[in-house]
Structure 1
Amino acid sequence: MRSIWKGSIGFGLVNIPIKLYSAVQSSSLGLDMLDGRDQSRIRYQRINEKTRKEVPYDQIVKGYPINDGYVILEDKDFEDASPEKSKMIEIENFVEMVEVNPMFYETSYYAEPETQGRKAYALLHKALQKSKKAGLGRFVLRTSENLCILHPVDKVIVVSKIRFAEEIRSAEEILTPDNVEVSKKELDMGLALINQYSSKFEIEKFKDEYHHELLKIIEAKAKGKRPTIKKLKPKKATDDNLYDMLMQSLDSSRKGA
């Protein structure tokens, strides 16, 4: 694994030299877009919408739409707005993990200590485990400033990028059933159903079945065959009575168990 960032974690006056490694990888298949007539790869061009001619890279500028025109931004504008190129993840405060809404999480990185920072790293790791808290800080990755959460996972400190508050859209326009009455009997049945399906969180049990099946098709087609894939059929509700459907769900869960 190659590190993607090298710097330090600032923990009070303690400086912990680290390297960051990507902790996630895509499970999607790398599919190319081809011309179906001769299987040549399709390339994209930068076309001027007025002249319909290709635009050279050195003639492309970036603009922000305002009123009926654009404000053109130059390289210096981006440089002036860029955060200071610090190589420090400065922990600004500590928070409860449950306070961080999952909507804020983006991606995660493993933090590996440099030789001279192993003891301080071990201290921070144990302190996070013991306190059951997470460090909240910010750092510069490439040219942008990022918020992050530092939390222990097994023997490693994980740095998870999180979104800024302004990146989360308001839910005010979403129609929700505020005035719908739910009876105590229905609520009790819903809670019973949740309890019936509750189990320990074991992510290893869940696989990306779609890409697994697609890869089987690709491998079979490469051999001139076509595999038979078993399709799942959606079950139709037999009743529009909420309580009855909850009861049927509970019975079905018990039989399955």
Structure 2
Amino acid sequence: MRAIWTGAISFGLVNVPVKLYSATEDHDVSLHQVHDADGGRIHYERRCEVCGRVTPYEHIDKAFVDGDETIVLTRDDLASIPQERDREISVAEFVPSDQIDPLLFDRSYYLEPTGKTTKAYVLLRQTLEKTDRTAIVEFALRQKTRLAALRVRGKVLVLQTLLWPDEVRTADFPVLDQTTRITAKEMQLSAALVKSFSDDFEPERFTDEYQEQLRKLIDAKRSAGGAIDTESTFGEAEDEGGEVIDLMEALKQSVQRSRATKKRAAGSRR
């Protein structure tokens, strides 16, 4: 992994030197755009609308447009902002971990201790664990002040950037204001269905089926040297229609199906 930021966590007079690493990576198959007539690659050019020339990235500045006024900001201008030069992850407060709405989570990063000793790092980690608190911090990254949650994952401190409150849309669905009657029997069957599906979460048991099928499609086209028969590759498409049944019947059948599946799975493990 390559560090994308170097600085320090600060709370009170305690300073913890750290490096920041992206905690996640994208494994999706990369697809390019091509011309359907001849397979030629489609490219996008940074072309200046004044001189008409393709402009190299090193000669591109940024600008703020306000009506008829354009204010150009150079790299030096942006680098002069005090917040951009600040290399501190500043702890604002420690809050109960269950108070943070998961909807606010954005990107995740690992923090590696870089000082001569890991004592301050380990002390902060153990304190967060014992108090069941999450540190709310502020720091600057990529020309933006970030609000983030600092928490523990195993032996590592993890920084999860948070969306600002005005970046989260309000869900306003009038249909949910209507009164909906749920019977005791429906609730009982629904709870039974939840129980029949209950298990410990093990993310490695799940796979990205779309990406697997996309790779299968690519391999099939590579082997065929052109067009392929999708039915022979993926099998016949399932009929997603079928009869419409009421909620009670759907709950009953779902519970029965889930129990039968679990029974078969238990039998195969013997």
1:39-97 deviation digits (Å, cap 9, x = unpaired) = 22212246799x9x9476579874546xxx45423317867877352111111111223
Equivalence for 1:209: 209
Secondary structure of the structure 2 residue equivalent to 1:176: helix
Structure 1 gap ranges (5+): none
Return closer, same or farther for 1:37/1:24 CA change in 2, 3 Å cut-off: same
Which protein is richer in helix relative to its size? 2
Return closer, same or farther for 1:234/1:93 CA change in 2, 3 Å cut-off: farther
Secondary structure of the structure 2 residue equivalent to 1:228: helix
Distance 1:140 1:218 in 2: 41
- CA contact 1:46–1:54 (8 Å) conserved in 2: no
Normalised by the size of structure 2, how large is the TM-score? 0.81
Return closer, same or farther for 1:34/1:7 CA change in 2, 3 Å cut-off: same
- CA contact 1:134–1:150 (8 Å) conserved in 2: yes
Normalised by the size of structure 1, how large is the TM-score? 0.85
Equivalence for 1:14: 14
Bigger mean CA offset, 112-121 vs 233-242: 233-242
Equivalence for 2:124: 124
Pairs aligned (count): 252
1:129-165 deviation digits (Å, cap 9, x = unpaired) = 2222211111101211111111111111111111000
Note the 1:108-187 alignment, pairs <5 A: 108-173=108-173, 175-176=175-176, 178-187=178-187
1:5-43 deviation digits (Å, cap 9, x = unpaired) = 000011321100000111111121111111233322212
Distance 2:91 2:241 in 1: 51
Distance 1:126 1:10 in 2: 16
Instruction: Give 1:117 deviation, angstroms.
Output: 4.5
Distance 2:60 2:162 in 1: 35
Distance 2:24 2:113 in 1: 19
Secondary structure of the structure 2 residue equivalent to 1:111: strand
Secondary structure of the structure 2 residue equivalent to 1:24: coil
